[in-house]
Amino acid sequence: MDTALIPKGVKRCPIWQFALWISANGAVLAWGVFAMLLVYIKGLNQTNMNNAYGFALWIWADLAVIALGGGAFFTGFLRYLVGKEELKYIINYAVLIGFICYSSALMILGFDIGQPLRGWFIFWHANVHSMLTEVAFCLTCYFGVLTIEYIPMVLENRKLDKVPFFHNLGHNMHEIMAVFAATGAFLSFFHQGSLGGVPGVMFGRPFGFREGVLIWPWTFFLFTWSAAAFGPCFTIFITKITETLTRKKLVKDNVIDLLAKISGWMIFFYIIAKIIDTIYWATVTAPSKGFTFLEFYTNNPGSAYGLWILIAEIGVCGVLPALILITPKLRRIQGFLWLAVFLGVIGVCLNRWVMVLQVLAVPVLTFEDWFTYLPSWQEVATTLLPVAYGVIMISVSYRYLPIFPQERELNPIDEPAAAAREVIPEPSAAGPEPELSPAES
């Protein structure tokens, strides 16, 4: 039915199977949209946030997806500015993942604010001294960059490419993509950093506050660095998941290996910086405000914010993936690569969680206690909404656009036979899971 839209030389699952897959994700999406409407109509009382937890699950999700989407700007930076040519085989997917992450972040911010209709005030009445202002500006601009980077991919669709204007537009945008990528990298360095600056400048919150250089607290640099380091982990992780679901090899090992190696070294140096930052904060910054390091990690209900969280973030999800990824022998073993990128993704998410939630949970007034928070179902549903949206975006993009330049080479098919199979679905196509594409035999 939609054969004419599917890229030449690749095989996709039958339309019914695709529709089923989209519907399943669409159900989650619809649930999220319902919750979002509740929030828009009834207000933020639909959440479990309170006067102590002004920031909660949503802001964490925002920070997390932006960090994970960092794979787009850093891969673009490596490909267009550093000149790592091999990465052109994965840049499309990195951009698509980034596009999804950033559109999700903007969507979440849209309903996270108390007066959504006044959202434009952040631009119009900008307070240039606020980290959040810089986040808003750079995030929106960078989303523009990602859109510009995604458009040529859409224009490569078989049908659209036949329109001369679209063909030429896509070609021209490719030609000057380095300019856009450079602008994107410039914007990303700042907004990733400003997100780190959000807790870093809060000198009333000793858990988040950090000294720094000029107007930038150390968290500014740590956030940019960690997004550049862990973002590619997410790109690899999603690529691996896509390969598993489609049961196809989509990107050559040398490409993944290069990105994994760079990511590994970035994490390695990041985690050293993070350890130094933690030691300085624990022994100098916090005591200067009258806090011992352990006060931030003890006596809280259920040890939700126990020392385990620091060990998990820095050790298990920082040092370990770094060591795996910088060791050629280890990162070339698929199991270890999977483990490392998975831990990396968890690690950066944990860091963002701590820098949003724990900052607010720690009691600062001596006569107050730890503050606890559990998200409401509306918050959970609206946080799953971008996940479902992302899966649908990837599925649709993968089906109709040549996202993986190496797919044809890695999965050669006999064209007429493939065309015949599109009409009569094979039994193998109806696998145990609603796959994006049937197995290659």
Partner 1 sequence: MFPFSFEWIWDAGHLVFHGGLWYALTVLGLGMTYCIIKAVLDAGKGKGDHHH
Partner 2 sequence: MKNGNFKKFGMVIDLDKCTGCGACMVACYAENNIPFREDDTDKMLSVSWMHVYRLNNGKPFPDYEECFLPRPCQHCEGHHGHSPCVSVCPATATDYNMATGIVSQIYPRCFGCRYCMGACPYHVRQFNWWDPIWPDGMEKMLNPNVSVRMRGVVEKCSFCVQRYQLAMDQAYMEGRQEIEEDDYQTACTETCPAGAITFGDLNNPEHAVHQLAQPDPAHEGRPKNPKAFRLLERLGTNPKIYYLSRREWVRRAGDNYLKGEFQNKAHS
Point out which residues bind partner 1 (CB under 8 A). 123-129, 133-134, 137, 141, 144-145, 148, 161-169, 171-173, 176, 179-180, 183, 186-187, 190
Of 99-107, 118-126, 337-345, 388-396, the window that binds partner 2 (rule: CB under 8 A) is 118-126
Of 124-132, 244-252, 317-325, 344-352, the window that binds partner 2 (rule: CB under 8 A) is 124-132
Q: Which is nearer to partner 1, 136 or 233 (CB)?
A: 136
Query: What is the DSSP secondary structure assignment for residue 311, as one 8-state letter?
Result: I
Q: Is 283 in the site for partner 2 (CB under 8 A)?
A: no
Q: Which is nearer to partner 2, 130 or 406 (CB)?
A: 130
Buried b (16+ CB within 10 A) or exposed e, 374-400: ebbebbbbbbbbbbbbbbbbbbebbbb
According to CB under 8 A, which residues from 326 to 365 bind partner 2? Answer: 359-360, 364-365
Smallest separation, CB 397 to partner 1 (Å): 21
Q: Which one of residues 21, 55, 74, 237 is an interface residue with partner 2 (CB under 8 A)?
A: 55
- Residue 289 CA to its chain's centroid (Å): 34
Q: Which is nearer to partner 1, 16 or 123 (CB)?
A: 123
Q: Is 45 in the site for partner 2 (CB under 8 A)?
A: yes
Q: Is 287 in the site for partner 2 (CB under 8 A)?
A: yes
Structure token digits, residue 433: 């899971």
Percentages helix, strand, coil for the chain (3-state, rounded to 5) are: 75, 0, 25
Q: CB of 155 within 8 A of CB of 141?
A: no
Q: Is the dihedral of CA 364, 365, 369, 373 positive or negative?
A: negative
Q: Which one of residues 244, 288, 298, 303 is an interface residue with partner 2 (CB under 8 A)?
A: 288
Q: Which one of residues 115, 165, 424, 427 is an interface residue with partner 2 (CB under 8 A)?
A: 115
Using alpha carbons, list the distances in angstroms from residue 123 to 103, 132, 140, 190: 18, 11, 10, 16
Q: Which is nearer to partner 1, 161 or 440 (CB)?
A: 161
Q: Is 106 in the site for partner 2 (CB under 8 A)?
A: no
Question: Which run of H or E residues covers position 331?
Answer: helix 328-331
Q: Which one of residues 15, 38, 84, 119 is an interface residue with partner 2 (CB under 8 A)?
A: 119
Task: Give the chain's length.
Answer: 441
Q: Which one of residues 133, 278, 327, 406 is an interface residue with partner 2 (CB under 8 A)?
A: 133
Size of site (CB under 8 A) for partner 2: 49
- 401-404 contacts, C-beta under 8 A, 24 or more apart: 401/7, 401/153, 401/154, 401/156, 401/157, 402/7, 402/10, 402/92, 402/153, 402/156, 403/92, 403/93, 403/96, 403/153, 404/89, 404/92, 404/93, 404/250, 404/251
Q: Is 315 in the site for partner 2 (CB under 8 A)?
A: no
Q: CA-to-CA distance for 438 and 13, rounded, in angstroms?
A: 5
The residue among 260, 259, 198 whose CA lies nearest residue 223 is 198
Of 64-72, 87-95, 128-136, 142-150, the window that binds partner 2 (rule: CB under 8 A) is 128-136
Note the helical H segments in 156-208: 158-161, 164-175, 177-200
Q: Which one of residues 15, 20, 38, 126 is an interface residue with partner 2 (CB under 8 A)?
A: 126
Residues whose CB is less than 8 angstroms from the CB of residue 324 and which lie 6 or more positions away in sequence, other chains included: 264, 330, 331, 336, 337, 339, 340
Q: Which one of residues 19, 28, 38, 52 is an interface residue with partner 2 (CB under 8 A)?
A: 52
Residue 145 contacts which entry, partner 2, partner 1, none (Cβ below 5-8 A, type-dependent): partner 1
Q: Which is nearer to partner 1, 161 or 211 (CB)?
A: 161
Query: What is the DSSP secondary structure assignment for residue 302, as one 8-state letter?
Result: G
| Residue in the structure block whose two tokens are 């959504």 | 116
| Residue in the structure block whose two tokens are 């989209």 | 22
- The backbone torsions φ and ψ at residue 376, rounded to the nearest 5 degrees and listed phi first, read -80, 165
Q: Which is nearer to partner 2, 130 or 147 (CB)?
A: 130
Q: Which is nearer to partner 1, 181 or 348 (CB)?
A: 181
Residues whose CB is less than 8 angstroms from the CB of residue 147 and which lie 6 or more positions away in sequence, other chains included: 99
Of 121-129, 255-263, 394-402, 419-427, the window that binds partner 2 (rule: CB under 8 A) is 121-129
Residue 289 contacts which entry, partner 2, partner 1, none (Cβ below 5-8 A, type-dependent): partner 2
Residue 114 contacts which entry, partner 1, partner 2, none (Cβ below 5-8 A, type-dependent): partner 2
The residue among 137, 237, 145 whose CA lies nearest residue 193 is 137
Q: Which one of residues 5, 20, 33, 132 is an interface residue with partner 2 (CB under 8 A)?
A: 132
DSSP states along 97-110: HHHHHHHHHHHHHH
Residue 205 contacts which entry, partner 2, partner 1, none (Cβ below 5-8 A, type-dependent): partner 2
Contacts to partner 2 by CB under 8 A:
43-45, 49-52, 54-55, 112-116, 118-119, 121-122, 124-127, 129-133, 136, 198, 201-206, 287-292, 359-360, 364-368, 371
